[in-house]
């Protein structure tokens, strides 16, 4: 009886403690540099999360190794809900890209739910002779092996989209990796490279300003954003089944108490209905997730399917990192 009373008291104390979560600032680790698209999503979401979560939120940028350093830090953090990860599709491609990954994507995290999906745009330097997608394909075929395709580094959104595009078109290009989206976009605008496939969050303003040519979007349907509305999808342009969106989601270290996971998930669901957050996302062509992937279980199931989707593409390209 005494043992039972002690156990009950311990359980009550733990429950009370979790009910008061958070009692100190919650740190959202962004595994990329400040100023990038994932960082922007995190900072906008933090504003929307503060009220439903009921605490202070701090953004910590831990860039490097295609987002794997930041993810590793969270995987090894104390499972108390005070260190969480906001990552993109890279969480599902890293297992195939990195031979010595320091975490297991499906085993070392508690899944908290998805946030958004960001379509990609296929863009080129302003001096390219092609003015639409059909003309671009002809130009690519005439210049096989000579076209420079920029990306923001191994494992980046632009790298993944570029791999998929080459696989779908069966046209090999010269891949030019950069240390970030900024320098890649600068060289594309300057004409040092020919093409890039990147998120609408990075490309919309450049397209609006006429600094680059836009050829297509990678989503299932055309986008409604004014600058992108006239662009065809790659699927309707002839690449059947081509659908690449860069999604963002949140994770906590494995072993984080269910009560904390539930509170983080509930706060996320409320934050995603915040009018200001929705407005910011839609202006950049991003789509807020509203389906079952908001739940931890469906989110995890989706990531497992993404791992299966990207592994053969990455293996075929033969692009790995230690």
Q: Residue 322: pLDDT above 70? A: no
pLDDT one-digit tens code per residue, 272-312: 999 999 999 888 778 999 999 999 999 999 999 999 999 99
Q: What pLDDT score was predicted for residue 19?
A: 65
| pLDDT score at 18 | 58
As a whole number, mean pLDDT of residues 9-31 equals 73
Q: What's the confidence (pLDDT) of residue 13? A: 44
Distances (CA, A) of 189 to 121, 182, 255: 15, 11, 46
Statement: residue 156 has pLDDT above 50: yes
For all residues of the chain together, what is the average pLDDT?
Answer: 91
Q: Which residue has the higher pLDDT, 316 or 268?
A: 268
User: Residue 193, Cα to own-chain centre: how many angstroms?
Assistant: 24
Q: pLDDT: is 271 or 226 the higher one?
A: 271
On the question of pLDDT at 112 being above 50, the answer is: yes
What pLDDT is recorded for position 15? Answer: 47
Is residue 12 very low, low, confident or very high in pLDDT (cuts 50, 70, 90)?
very low
Which distant-in-sequence residues (6+ apart) come within 8 Å of 44 by Cβ?
A: 277, 280, 281
pLDDT at 11: 45
Average pLDDT over residues 159-180: 92
Q: CA–CA distance from 250 to each of 20, 43, 91, 107, 111 (Å)?
A: 21, 13, 10, 15, 7
| Whole-number percent of the chain with pLDDT over 90 | 74
Q: Give the 3-state secondary structure of residue 292.
A: helix
pLDDT at 6 over 50: no
Higher pLDDT, 2 or 52: 52
- Is 5 a residue whose pLDDT tops 60? no
Alpha carbons 23 and 31: distance in angstroms, whole number: 25
Q: Residue 226 — pLDDT band, cuts 50, 70, 90?
A: confident
Model pTM greater than 0.75? yes
CB contact set of 314 (below 8 Å; sequence gap of 6+): 93, 96, 97, 163, 320
Q: Which residue has the higher pLDDT, 268 or 284?
A: 268
pLDDT at 270: 98
Averaged pLDDT for residues 83-99: 95
């Amino acid at each position: 009886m005494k043992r039972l009373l002690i156990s009950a008291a311990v359980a009550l104390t733990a429950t009370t403690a979790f009910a008061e979560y958070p009692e100190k600032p919650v740190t959202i680790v962004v595994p990329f540099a400040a100023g990038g698209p994932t960082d922007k999503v995190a900072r906008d979401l933090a504003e929307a999360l503060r009220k439903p979560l009921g605490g202070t939120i701090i953004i910590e940028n831990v860039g490097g190794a295609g987002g794997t350093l930041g993810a590793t830090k969270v995987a090894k953090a104390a499972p108390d809900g005070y260190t969480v990860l906001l990552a993109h599709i890279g969480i599902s491609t890293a297992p195939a890209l990195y031979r010595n990954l320091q975490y297991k994507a499906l085993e070392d995290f508690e899944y908290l739910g998805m946030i958004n999906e960001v379509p990609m745009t296929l863009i080129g330097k302003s001096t390219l002779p092609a003015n639409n997608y059909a003309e671009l394909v002809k130009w690519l075929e005439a210049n096989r092996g000579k076209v420079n395709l920029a990306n923001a580094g191994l494992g980046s959104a632009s790298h993944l989209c570029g791999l998929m595009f080459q696989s779908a078109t069966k046209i090999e290009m010269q891949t030019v990796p950069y240390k970030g989206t900024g320098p890649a976009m600068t060289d594309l605008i300057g004409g040092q490279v020919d093409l890039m496939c990147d998120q609408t969050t990075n490309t919309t303003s450049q397209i609006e300003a006429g600094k680059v040519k836009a050829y297509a979007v990678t989503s299932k349907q055309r986008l409604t954003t004014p600058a992108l509305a006239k662009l065809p999808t790659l699927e309707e342009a002839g690449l059947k089944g081509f659908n690449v969106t860069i999604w963002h989601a949140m994770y906590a270290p494995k072993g984080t108490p269910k009560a904390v996971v539930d509170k983080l998930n509930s706060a996320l669901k409320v934050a995603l209905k915040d009018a200001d957050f929705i407005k910011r996302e839609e202006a950049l062509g991003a789509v807020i997730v509203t389906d079952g992937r908001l739940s931890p279980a469906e989110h995890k199931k989706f990531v497992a399917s993404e791992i299966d989707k990207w592994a053969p593409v990455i293996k075929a390209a033969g692009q790995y990192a230690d």
